[in-house]
């Protein structure tokens, strides 16, 4: 990868690695050393250390493990974002569970990858979030799409994103990103009752009956880009 691929300036992206296993940190450091666009500015082995180190070093990107001592990854995301809103966070999960994805996105994570992913995928995630885009592991997206396809009542034919209103698209995107109804209302400056009305309309129009199905639909139709 050429440095200019994601940054035209001479400076490099500053990365903080957070994992409670030294071997994992050493491995990531060794791999990223081959990519001159990245500069490893620090490491942390627990959640509290991750927050204080992020505050001290102000990195561009934090690679954050899911399970950490003292302060877990989900909790650390919020603290890191409060330390510096510009800091991008990629949440690295051991296994995919919808609750973890939703919690990570709700806490402010910019990316979600699985530990079993290859380094090429991690590099893609890093480039994506540093460009300001949200990234979710294709393996996770695949599971969601399969879940969507398996729903017997899903109106897959004739029910496309083009049939949704602008507001319904906005509500769907925020729900798929893990926001709760109250948070959607606050972000869109509308009432909770209006959000609930749009959510009910979405489910009726699309023939879907769960947040997982809505999320899968949003991913399949490129609404999270």
Dihedral sign from CA coordinates of 67, 83, 99, 162: negative
pTM beyond 0.75: the answer is no
For CA atoms 125, 112, 57, 31, give the dihedral sign: negative
Domain 3-136 belongs to what topology? Rossmann fold (3.40.50)
How confident is the prediction along the chain (225 residues), in pLDDT tens digits per residue? 433 455 544 478 999 999 999 999 999 999 999 999 999 999 999 999 999 999 999 999 999 999 899 888 989 999 999 989 899 999 999 877 777 787 888 788 999 999 888 888 999 999 999 998 888 888 776 665 555 455 444 444 334 555 788 899 889 988 877 778 888 999 899 999 999 999 999 988 888 877 777 877 776 676 765
The first and second tokens of residue 13, run together, are 């992206």
Token representation of residue 80: 């890191």
How many CB atoms are located within 10 Å of the residue 8 CB?
A: 7
What was the pLDDT predicted at 96?
A: 75
Task: Give the C-alpha separation, 84 to 105, whole Å.
Answer: 17
Given this model, what pLDDT does residue 94 score?
86
Question: Looking at residue 59, what is its pLDDT?
Answer: 97
Q: How is residue 156 written in tokens?
A: 């897959």
**One-character DSSP codes across the chain:** --GGGT--SSS-EEEEEE-S-HHHHHHHHHHHTT-TTEEEEEEESSHHHHHHHHHHH--SEEEEESS-SSS-HHHHHHHHHHH-TT-EEEEEESS--HHHHHHHHHHT-SEEEETTS-HHHHHHHHHHHHTT--EE-HHHHHHHHHHHHH-TT---SS--GGGS-HHHHHHHHHHHTT--HHHHHHHHT--HHHHHHHHHHHHHHHT--SHHHHHHHHHHTTTT-
Tell me the domain boundaries of the chain: 3-136, 142-220
CA distance 34 to 196: 49
Give the CATH class of 142-220: mainly alpha
């Amino acid at each position: 990868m050429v440095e200019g691929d994601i940054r035209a300036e001479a400076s490099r992206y500053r990365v903080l690695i957070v994992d409670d296993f030294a071997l994992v940190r050493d491995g990531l450091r060794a791999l990223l050393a081959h990519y001159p666009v990245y500069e490893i500015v620090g490491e942390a082995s627990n959640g509290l250390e991750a927050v204080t180190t992020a505050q001290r070093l102000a990195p561009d990107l934090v690679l954050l493990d899911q399970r950490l001592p003292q302060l877990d990854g989900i909790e650390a995301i919020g603290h890191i974002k409060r330390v510096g809103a510009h800091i991008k966070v990629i949440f690295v999960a051991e296994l995919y569970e919808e609750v973890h994805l939703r919690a990570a996105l709700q806490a402010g994570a910019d990316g979600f990858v699985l530990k079993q992913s290859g380094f090429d995928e991690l590099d893609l995630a890093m480039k994506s979030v540093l460009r300001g885009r949200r990234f979710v592991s294709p393996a996770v997206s695949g599971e969601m799409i399969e879940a969507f396809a398996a729903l017997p009542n899903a109106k897959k034919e004739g029910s496309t994103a083009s049939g949704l209103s602008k507001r319904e698209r906005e509500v769907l995107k925020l729900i798929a990103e893990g926001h709760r109804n109250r948070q959607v209302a606050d972000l869109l400056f509308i009432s909770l009752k209006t959000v609930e009305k749009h959510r009910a309309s979405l489910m009726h129009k699309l023939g879907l009956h769960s947040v997982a199905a809505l999320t899968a639909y949003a991913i399949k139709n490129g609404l999270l880009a």
